[in-house]
Amino acid sequence: MKSFKVVPSVVLLESCQEFCERYKIGAGDLVFASASTMDRNFSSGFEGALVIDYRQYGSGEPTDLMVNGISKAIGSYPIKRVFAIGGGTILDVAKLFALKEVFPVADLFDGKIEAVRDKELILLPTTCGTGSEMTNISILELTEKKTKMGLAVDALYADEAVLVPELLEGLPFKVFAASSLDALIHAVESFTSPKANALTQMFSLKAMELILQGYQQIAKAGEAARLPLLPDFLLASTYAGIAFGNAGCAAVHALSYPLGAAQHVPHGEANYVMFMEVYQTYRSIRHDGSLQLLEKHLAKILACSDDEVYETLGDLLEHILTPRKMSEYGVQEEDLDLYTDIVMTKQTRLMSNNYVELSAEKVREIYQKLF
């Protein structure tokens, strides 16, 4: 049996002002937002609310240390609603603060603490990549375990996902590139997942189409061409979030986590490093079913033959973000065995969604090719 559900209500708004008028944020509200987002989009502030600038508690990807630091800052403030306005980092962290009990964080992620929601949760993405606003997943780097882990429980679903394209306008191009590549990979991995079905694949295909057609315009006209396309990219990210929230991500994400955690590589960029090699490895093992359907869909968008899909796609993606070898991020060759072990022992949730099973030897081989 395969199932499909969309839990958060999706609210489409024209502006940040409309958001403020609708939600009337004030006393009893916990708001996660960076200082730059507040200055640019919510200069009047949210009177009476507790506003947390998560960037004061760590940079880059979310960690358990960040969660601990924020908790101390919140103290005994009485929370009724949790709002998160930001990228995947803060959306993932904010989900935890809508729970009744969070600490110790490692116990929560190990299932030793039951995840129970006791607060309303509203998420506003400011990037076009993670799709976290639509999923029941929180990803953290657990520093003592030296890897990222995912908590996937229904208590982490938001009540509402609020899409405001205006929030993407200040996104630097490199951040836009990494986040939209993450959304593309969500769409692709969920399409070939054994948990995929006709409904998830519909959302995957539409997300791929919007993102790649947008990339084609950027490749022709330059970085500024993305600006009128931001509503499309935001929708594509949400579509991909719906798809992978149901069907899951797989080896691309699993292999990227050790790189992201150890070398502090942005999540979407770390996925990009792994993306093409994982799919060409799949193709070398078995070439049928959903992989063939994926290649036909991509070939149609890219106007190439099925056999030229990966080469043509690689050429297009180079206009968005320059690919780099793992060694360029500071990875040492002796790290590859450790990374492989982490993937095979700590990322089984993701590896179960692979198009074909990948052995430790295959994972190590992929890393070596990308080194």
Confidence at residue 3, expressed as pLDDT on a 0 to 100 scale: 82
Share of the chain above pLDDT 90, in %: 81
In a domain, 198, yes or no: yes
Residue 110 clears pLDDT 80, i.e. is over it: yes
- pLDDT value at 280 more than 90: yes
* Residues whose CB is less than 8 angstroms from the CB of residue 294 and which lie 6 or more positions away in sequence, other chains included: 188, 191, 192
Number of domains in the chain: 2
Residues 164 and 186 in one domain: no
Longest dimension (CA), the chain: 60
Tell me what pLDDT residue 276 has: 97
- 149 and 211 in a single domain? The answer is no
DSSP label of 10: E
Residue 166's pLDDT is 96
Residue 74 lies in a domain: yes
CATH number for the domain spanning 225: value is: 1.20.1090.10
Q: What is the pLDDT of residue 242?
A: 94
CATH code where residue 132 lies: 3.40.50.1970
Give, as one character, the DSSP assignment of residue 281. H
- Checking if the pLDDT of 61 tops 90, the result is no
Q: How confident is the model at residue 144 (pLDDT cuts 50, 70, 90)?
A: confident
Same domain, 80 and 201: no
Residues 308 and 217 in one domain: yes
User: What span, in angstroms and rounded, lies between the C-alpha atoms of 314 and 233?
Assistant: 19
Please indicate, yes or no, whether residues 287 and 140 belong to a single structural domain of this protein.
no
Residues in the chain: 371
User: Are both 340 and 197 inside the same structural domain?
Assistant: yes
- Can you point out the beta strands (E) in 119-171? 120-125, 137-142, 147-152, 160-163
Is 60 within the bounds of a domain? yes
262 or 145: whose pLDDT is higher?
262
The answer to whether the CB of 137 falls within 8 A of the CB of 245 is yes
Question: Helices 198-221 & 173-192, crossing angle to 10 degrees?
Answer: 150
113 within domain boundaries: yes
Please indicate, yes or no, whether residues 24 and 111 belong to a single structural domain of this protein: yes
187-244: pLDDT as tens digits: 999 999 999 999 999 999 999 999 999 999 999 999 999 999 999 999 999 999 999 9
pLDDT of 106 > 90? The answer is no
Asked whether 200 and 208 are in contact (CB, 8 A), the reply is no
Same domain, 151 and 198: no
Residue 84 in domain: yes
In 3-state terms, the chain is what percent helix, strand and coil (to 5)?
55, 10, 30
Count CB neighbours of 249 within 10 A: 28
Domain boundary among 116, 145, 168: 168
CA distance 370 to 278: 10
Tell me, yes or no, whether 277 lies in a domain.
yes
> Is residue 148's pLDDT more than 90?
no
Mean pLDDT of 119-131: 95
Q: Sign of torsion, CA 113 264 193 361?
A: negative
Q: Quick check: is 4 in a domain? A: no
> What pLDDT, in 10s, does the model give residues 4-60?
988 899 999 999 999 999 999 999 999 999 999 999 999 887 999 999 998 898 777
Same domain, residue pair 356 and 209: yes
Shared domain for 39 and 121, answered yes or no, is yes
CB-CB contact of 46 with 85 (8 Å): no
> Last residue of some domain: 117, 142, 168?
168
Final residue before a domain boundary, out of 168, 188, 207: 168
Domain boundaries, position 232: 173-370
Query: Does residue 1 lie within any of the structural domains?
Result: no
Q: 38 and 179 share a domain?
A: no
When the pLDDT of each residue in the chain is averaged and rounded to a whole number, the result is 94
- Whether residue 143 sits in one domain with residue 106: yes
User: What does the pLDDT read at residue 62?
Assistant: 83
